[in-house]
Structure 1
Amino acid sequence: MDVDSGDETAGTAPSRRRRGRATLLIAAALVLGTLAGAVTGYAIQYHREPTPLPPLAQRKLDAPKPLAADGATTLKSINANRWHKSDDDLTKLLLEPPAGAKVLESPAYESLDFFAADYENPEGALRDFVTAGLRRVALTSWSTDDRYYVDVRLIQFRELAGADEHQKNHDTYMSGPKYAGNPGVSIPGVPDDLGHVWVDSKAQQKPGYEPHRGSRAVVRRGDVVLEIFYSDNRGGKIAESDVIDLAKRQLERL
């Protein structure tokens, strides 16, 4: 029989006691007995009739409510029952320039301060846009024949009220002599309270510059306001139908 020597030095692990033959025989018998019991139990269970399971103890799940026939929603902007493409990348919805046009601004998002810089009082405009909940501005622009220039913007607000106020503000000042000088015209298919097109009644002339005539389309579609600036840097007359066509084509993409 092996025994410990008793003279182990410090830091040396004691020898491991060997497992005897009798221990191995007993362990083997236990394994065989367990295996035989498992086989017998499986055979008995196999020949029994299946027992139905009791019903689950849970309440009936509520079925989703059907959509309203008119798409009514309590939200102030987009229909809550469906996804709207204006929730996606707005730059993908911008009009594409016509063939042969010179691209001045590829579709991109415009920073809020850069957008506000176009206003007479940039600081006040910036403050008002923040208060109104301006969300983002997508812009593209091009020119044709080095004469006609077009800027297209999609201005999205976080709430419908902000978009509504922005669109209606144009109705209050665009008819003044400093701007278009006329009440504008309606866009076919668009209610008068949702948008107009204005073409300057006369060209603007500054010393040392060519005469300039501008036009503008402003239309609200949900929480997005469409703005199109169409100008002629030689002061020629702009056809209202050309601006209306641009606005209708852009609205079709929203």
Structure 2
Amino acid sequence: MPTEVPAPPEPAVAPRPRRRGRTALLIAAAVVLGLVAGTCTGYLVQADREPTRLPPLSQPVVDQAEGEVEPLSAAEDRRLRTDGDLRKLLLKRPQGARDAEFELGTDGWLNLADYARTYEEPGEVIGNLIGDEFRRAAVASWRVGSTHSVAIHLTQYRQEQTLAASANSEGAHYWAEESDTRSWPIPGTGDGMAYVHDTPEREAGYLPLYSAEAHAWRGDIAMNIWVYDTKPIPKKKIMDLAERQMGRL
């Protein structure tokens, strides 16, 4: 006897916008009536008063400061730094570190296609990056010993239509907040966060892979850091990288 297959559940219907209630309409009407009544009363009171003498139109002239405003120095003008060679703002490779096992981009740069390939769905991401006004991305990566590796991305947006740098950071926070993950705010960044994942990724034939990451933004630049190792990664390691990298932006 064939087993009866249950009918599929009906698709959820998006809730309709709530109608404006009768109470709200009454309040709006009362406000309008109050404004009209107050205006009429004001005219009546003013009509019974003696005319108020107006102050003279001429006002004292304020002396202008002499000389020109001194321009910001290169160290003070953040725009001058971030519009230059973005790779120079990346953390330097520590002494004794080697090239990463898999180098990304070309000569420290990630073009649009290379950057999209760092995501699981590159075809979909390319369209999003174009909409987000992707400008350029710089990358630094290195390996210490045989198991410890670091990758840092600085992604810059034009931000003529949207604040994409903060949106980049917000999306990264969403995906980083998994179970068995500890997190801490990055000082001086507003909503920047660092994460340590305590449960490693496991795959047959390979050592367990632990990871930590940090995400923040400043101005038109989003910062993303990833650290991988076959042993647990301490909070101090990811926080140190995040604070020093943000200090360069």
TM (normalized to structure 2)?
0.64
Deviation of 1:163 after TM superposition, in Å, equals 0.7
- Larger CA deviation: 122-131 vs 167-176: 167-176
Which position in structure 2 is the counterpart of 1:85? 81
Unaligned 5+ segments in structure 2 are 1-65, 71-76
Which position in structure 2 is the counterpart of 1:209? 206
Unaligned 5+ segments in structure 1 are 1-62, 68-80
The number of residues matched between the two structures is 172
Which position in structure 2 is the counterpart of 1:95? 91
Which position in structure 2 is the counterpart of 1:184? 183
User: Deviations 1:129-159 (Å, cap 9, x if unpaired)?
Assistant: 1110111010111000111000111100111
| SS of alignment partner, residue 200 of structure 1 | strand
| SS of alignment partner, residue 163 of structure 2 | helix
Over the residues paired in the alignment, what is the CA RMSD in angstroms? 2.3
| SS of alignment partner, residue 201 of structure 1 | strand
Q: What CA distance in whole angstroms lies between the structure 2 residues aligned with 1:136 and 1:251? A: 18
| SS of alignment partner, residue 198 of structure 1 | strand
- Relative to structure 1, is the Cα distance of residues 82 and 137 closer, same or farther in structure 2, using a 3 angstrom cutoff? closer
Larger Rg: 1
| SS of alignment partner, residue 108 of structure 2 | strand
Is contact 2:216–2:222 with CA below 8 Å preserved after alignment?
Answer: yes
Equivalent of residue 197 in structure 1, options 194, 198, 218 = 194
| SS of alignment partner, residue 84 of structure 1 | helix
TM (normalized to structure 1)?
0.62
Deviation of 1:183 after TM superposition, in Å, equals 5.9
Which position in structure 1 is the counterpart of 2:152? 152
User: Is 2:223 the partner of 1:221?
Assistant: no
Which position in structure 1 is the counterpart of 2:227? 230
Quick one: percent identity of the two aligned structures?
29
- Relative to structure 1, is the Cα distance of residues 197 and 170 closer, same or farther in structure 2, using a 3 angstrom cutoff? same
Is contact 1:107–1:140 with CA below 8 Å preserved after alignment?
Answer: no
Deviation of 1:92 after TM superposition, in Å, equals 1.3
Is contact 2:166–2:217 with CA below 8 Å preserved after alignment?
Answer: yes
- Relative to structure 1, is the Cα distance of residues 64 and 157 closer, same or farther in structure 2, using a 3 angstrom cutoff? farther
